[in-house]
Amino acid sequence: MKEQEAPRPIRIAVGLWLAIAVFVLFVTGGLWFQRGQVQELTKWTSGQVTSFLVTLTVVAVIFAAAYAWLTRLFLRRRRWARIALSVIAIVHMLWLLVLGISAANLVTLLLICVAIVFTWQPRAAQWFAEVRDE
């Protein structure tokens, strides 16, 4: 079975995982343009804000790369990729909870929850089982 023949829940899950990766990068990039507001809200020095933003950027790139790579493997029907995506997502959710509540974090949490639901749909399990039958 080819990628374009993936069932609808798989295509939706893939779209969501990739959307999460892109969204995380855009949100983090946007924070760099709001460094003045971050400094004002936190009362941190310019160096502390830069260090914070660098840390956020590194973590965001790691999550985005992991989502992109694992989504590719998920589409190739690597059974472990589905589990790895879910584990990375849970770690990401915990990371977001440590950062605190924001609109962007809530959107990301919602996207992750929906992506996990579609990743573990019965039709997805059937799609993976078909590989063993071929």
Residues of the chain with pLDDT below 50 are 1-4, 134
Give a yes or no: residue 14 inside a domain. Answer: yes
**Domain presence at residue 27:** yes
Q: What is the pLDDT of residue 132?
A: 64
Domain holding 33, by residue range, is 8-133
Number of domains in the chain: 1
Q: Tokens 């962007």 belong to which residue?
A: 104
Distance between CA atoms of 31 and 53, rounded to whole angstroms? 7
In a domain, 68, yes or no: yes
Digit-coded pLDDT (tens) for 53-70: 999 999 999 999 999 999
Domain membership of residue 3 (yes or no) is no
Within-domain flag for 1: no
